[in-house]
Structure 1
């Protein structure tokens, strides 16, 4: 089969795109494979461009042209399968709140501040504007703590863990927090926070704040540490009847296999499904953005608002989520279900890091002193 220069060029490009599309299917946890989970939207747009150019520039009378077009279309369809749920083309997973019950409402700002960022006033301004019940910050060190402590007049309930390793965390809340704990679930220098929040109605919500390390050449060469941290949280919250929220910078995208495994194992819901991607990273480069900051919740909530907030100098946008605690469980059958393979895979991830769901604090089980 003779190929001219243009056909050969498109063949090479198509084969590269096939490799980038197919590699994440394997479950190897090495960082350079798992990083291909992230840019699915970008790959979708690149493949779409190549597909259209093949139709325009190549000789459609040749069978090899249609082979290239078919391969590109298959890759395009596969990438779309992952990202379309995070568009308005897909049904919402979590119902919208029909009314706002202020006593059962909870508003949370999740913000990776970027430790070297010095625009604390920008984040404080967002807090004053959106009036969250809870602010959680990631990458916050002692400098950030000094700046954010000005919020304590209105946000007197706090959990503080300032670190200078890009994994410090702080929680500021204007609603009571009970049985709060800081835990190091998988890695000894990567904290997580666990608490029970008391709504004005008297209902309690179990909340977990997370920031596991990403798979990368400068952090962990594999995703196993991150994955294990997510799975033990998932296993733990799956066993409680208390309303649950899990939020933070999970260093994983909404559509990855690992995040889907987390949702299947935990039974938690993603309010972004059917509403949008809410790409919070990277704030400085529009062409490499993906949903890196998350909030998942149990079946007990409806969504009143979810919004990516304006830039405040970090490499992340902050995520604002407003949920309403409901008496019914209308979302119960809208989530993802785990099969036997999923459960086995989850167990393998925990075993790989020698961790267990029992390592996760359960604040609803702790007696108040």
Structure 2
């Protein structure tokens, strides 16, 4: 019994420690990794609390409740409190897919794109074979800006709506490619930025991802007009770099009020370990009216489908005008 009580206290202290160091993500790479698993910490704390009550271990219970409270507070903004609604402005449906460069079922990707009803489809880890298959949907998606590669850097945008201009670029000449396009929606322009920074699997790769997201934040701050930033950002909403991306730009996380919607990894056997790293961020001129995850399409990510409503623009923009500053 003593061993069980000591183990319980040790587990409670470890969980509280992990919950706290996640707030120090900007200081060190391991701390940043600890910031992503808030839902898992919540589940672990709930289980530990039940065990503490069963063993009547007051000290461990107090520590566990502290960890539970911390993670509940971080999850509260993502409780599913907002029902899907009908767009009051011009509707726009956005689909974000990390297709996975080693996907053995590219046909499932194409079929989901076909059935999604999306107006704009952003695909990262776009291979040449998948791009060829998606081009067969040219009647539905006649507008395309893509650079397919047989590695994780392949990227592409497919649209039902005209693209006034579109390009694939890197910010400051570094980082992984992004697509920037001016989408003409009902006579007005919306800038769509699709991006896929490097996964933070080491300190140097974390630095590369952060540099790319900081560059996007600078771009968003200077941008005039409607802006949508989307893609596999390889970061959760609880990381310090995500706070910079949203806090300094006014971009809004489309997951707010719509549930956890964890998108990676996609496999059912790892469902409890999923974290939300695929995002759609919008500015104040764009309302989110619906958001959901798609089915498993053979990728290690689940697709993200977001319904948007474009508010009336305060200042009219001239179709075809340059929508974003020089990078």
1:248–1:295 CA contact under 8 A, matched in 2: yes
How far has the Cα of 1:178 moved from its partner? 2.3
Aligned to 2:286: 301
How far has the Cα of 1:302 moved from its partner? 2.1
Q: Is 1:273 aligned to residue 259 of structure 2? A: no
Q: Gapped runs of 5+ residues in structure 2?
A: 315-320
The farther-off stretch of 268-277 and 243-252 is 268-277
Aligned to 1:240: 223
Q: Is 1:84 aligned to residue 76 of structure 2? A: yes
Spell out, residue by residue over 1:262-313, the C-alpha distance to the aligned partner (whole angstroms, 9 max, x if none): 1111101122111111111111021111111100101112233211111111
Q: Is 1:162 aligned to residue 111 of structure 2? A: no
TM-score, length-scaled by structure 2: 0.90
How far has the Cα of 1:254 moved from its partner? 2.1
Aligned to 1:364: 323
1:20-169 aligned at under 5 Å gives the runs 20-28=18-26, 30-58=28-56, 65-88=57-80, 92=82, 97-99=85-87, 101=89, 104-169=90-155
223 and 149 in structure 1: CA distance in 2 versus 1, 3 angstrom threshold: same
Aligned to 1:283: 266
134 and 300 in structure 1: CA distance in 2 versus 1, 3 angstrom threshold: same
CA distance in 1, matches of 2:11, 2:173: 40
How far has the Cα of 1:110 moved from its partner? 0.3
Q: Gapped runs of 5+ residues in structure 1?
A: 59-64, 330-361
RMSD after superposition = 2.3
The farther-off stretch of 244-253 and 227-236 is 227-236
Q: Is 1:254 aligned to residue 233 of structure 2? A: no
> SS at 2:168's partner residue?
strand
CA distance in 1, matches of 2:289, 2:279: 16
1:245–1:298 CA contact under 8 A, matched in 2: yes
CA distance in 1, matches of 2:29, 2:173: 17
> SS at 2:166's partner residue?
strand
32 and 365 in structure 1: CA distance in 2 versus 1, 3 angstrom threshold: closer
Aligned to 1:315: 300
How far has the Cα of 1:15 moved from its partner? 2.2
CA distance in 1, matches of 2:85, 2:153: 34
> SS at 2:95's partner residue?
strand
> SS at 2:253's partner residue?
coil
Spell out, residue by residue over 1:27-58, the C-alpha distance to the aligned partner (whole angstroms, 9 max, x if none): 44544321112211011100111112111113
Aligned to 2:187: 202
> SS at 1:238's partner residue?
helix
Instruction: Provide the aligned length of Structure 1 versus Structure 2.
Output: 318
CA distance in 2, matches of 1:189, 1:234: 14
How far has the Cα of 1:99 moved from its partner? 4.4
2:289–2:309 CA contact under 8 A, matched in 1: yes
CA distance in 1, matches of 2:95, 2:240: 26
